[in-house]
Chain A
Amino acid sequence: MDLNAPHSMGTTIIGVTYDGGVVLGADSRTSTGMYVANRASDKITQLTDNVYICRSGSAADSQIVSDYVRYFLHQHTIQLGQPATVKVAANLVRLLSYNNKNMLQTGMIVGGWDKYEGGKIYGIPLGGTILEQPFAIGGSGSSYLYGFFDQAWKEGMSKDEAEQLVVKAVSLAIARDGASGGVVRTVIINSDGVTRNFYPSDKLPLWHEELEPQNSLLDILSAASPEPMNI
């Protein structure tokens, strides 16, 4: 076990726009090599009251980038006199990612709501490209979701439809990506504010070859064989 391997959030991160806001989602596994250092991490981090960021890749790099951006946005908000826009937040992330591309190894998704543009999602992969998208997926677990989103994504979903899509997607990625796991966290951002949700595995659907969890084999054995009746 390489305990000196860098902390990496293998991860599955997702950001989806819907009619009125955005839904951000992520798994909760942080690993050091093959060891799960934190099984309940929170990868959806606040930048301002109305803008959040999903972090993947190196835990250290993504934390420091989001810390700097939060600091800059704080000052920007004071100077501007009103809440920062999602676009400004995303571009600050981009500047740090792009100008330090040789040193950083983190892919991020910025999502939020502002009064000018409504709900917006910006994907900022390795290298510092910025792409405004109706939905974005990232992290190692996202490889397993390209086909899923090609089929399941639709324009103009409701808040609940969007959240269910995100939870289903993260759950599917967790099923196949060893670097993703734990619980599914979601953050919904719209004009009314921010809502955080938490979905442990018993609240998630079961996929192919997955079984209903039991307390113990002993329960199964005692349930399976009742004493035969004698007539």
Chain B
Amino acid sequence: MKLLDSTDSGNSSSIERTQYPYVTGTSVIGIKYKDGILMAADMGASYGSTLRYKSVERVKPVGKHSLIGASGEISDFQEILRSLDELILYDNMWDDGNSLGPKEVHNYLTRMMYNRRNKFDPLWNSLVLGGVKNGQKYLGMVSMIGVHFEDNHVATGFGNHLARPILRDEWHENLTFEDGVKLLEKCMRVLLYRDRSAVNKLQIAKITEEGVTVSQPYALKTFWNFNAFQNPTAGAEGSW
């Protein structure tokens, strides 16, 4: 119902354009656990190789039943949040006792992303959508080209390469909150070591039937006191 949105080019001989991302967030990780969904993301937004902003919330609640986490262009994420806000508003205005669940929100996001991709004007994000409604847990992902799926554990960006192998090994049905948090922190720590755009300040969000909690920002301890790190080139001067 927007009067004018960012895709209106005004002329029919449409210019094909694909953007470049400017301010970007890195990985988001989501897992199902006993009571619902846990999602983790750091609070960094990079401007190329500069770590420009360090207090960006990349995990946000959507309505009563969902959580959205985003990596990629932050301005596009903010636009998506506006659209979701409008979606939830209109849903509430029906005042019919029903409310959009995570599955519905995921589908809406998929349509948004895919349709923009078809116009060669993508929203440059990878999104993680998780939630619980009527006891049913839901966790899904949508990429910037509209690829979407559900799984017990998902990750975006570098998380695909570094976190998912850990999750494949160590995730199991009915994780407790404590075990879920520890598992996410293990993944986030690896990302902190090995992803250039990672920042040591993160939030872990939880959604259950009762509602949403987003933790306060905090930093993780890292380990550097291996013997091999002290004098790595002692026996091989000139190496790394």
| Residue ranges of A at the interface with B (Cβ–Cβ < 8 Å) | 1, 10, 28-31, 34-36, 38-43, 45-46, 59, 63, 66-67, 70, 140, 144, 175-179, 181-183, 196, 198, 200-202, 208-218, 220-221
Contacts and interface: CB of A to CB of B under 8 A. Distances in A.
Contacts of A202: 221
Interface in B29-51: 46, 49-51
B165 interface: no
A217 B221 contact: no
A116 B220 CA distance: 48
B51 A176 contact: yes
A144 B49 CA distance: 12
Contact of B194 (A10, A28, A36): A36
Interface in B51-78: 51-52, 54-55
B178 A35 contact: no
Interface string B201-240: 1001000000000011111111011101111110001111
B219 A214 contact: yes
A39 B201 contact: no
Contacts of A213: 200, 219-222
- Most-contacted residue by chain B among A175, A181, A213, A217 (CB, 10 A): A217
Contacts of A39: 193-194
A109 to B, nearest CB: 16
A1 B218 contact: no
A177 B218 contact: no
A212 B219 contact: yes
Contact of B195 (A34, A38, A209): A34
Contact of B196 (A36, A66, A183, A210): A36
B60 to A, nearest CB: 18
Given A178-B49, A178-B51, A35 B194 contact: yes
Interface of B: 46, 49-52, 54-55, 158, 161, 178, 181-182, 185, 193-197, 200-201, 204, 215-222, 224-226, 228-233, 237-240
Nearest to B202: A217
Given A35-B158, A177-B51, 5 more contacts: A36-B194, A178-B51, A211-B219, A214-B218, A218-B178
A40 B218 contact: no
Contacts of B239: 42, 63
Contacts of A10: 49, 196
Contacts of A214: 218-221
Given A31-B196, A45-B238, A209-B55, A216 B181 contact: yes
B136 to A, nearest CB: 26
Given A35-B194, A175-B51, A213-B222, A42 B233 contact: yes
Given A40-B224, A216-B185, A63 B240 contact: yes
A186 to B, nearest CB: 13
Nearest to A202: B221
B200 to A, nearest CB: 7
A209 B220 CA distance: 14
30 contacts: A10-B49, A29-B196, A36-B195, A39-B193, A40-B226, A40-B228, A40-B229, A42-B231, A45-B237, A46-B238, A63-B238, A176-B50, A177-B50, A181-B196, A198-B229, A198-B230, A200-B224, A201-B222, A201-B224, A208-B54, A209-B201, A210-B200, A211-B200, A211-B219, A213-B221, A214-B218, A214-B219, A214-B221, A216-B185, A217-B215
Nearest to B184: A217
A1 B162 CA distance: 11
Contacts of A217: 181, 185, 204, 215, 218
A217 B38 CA distance: 13
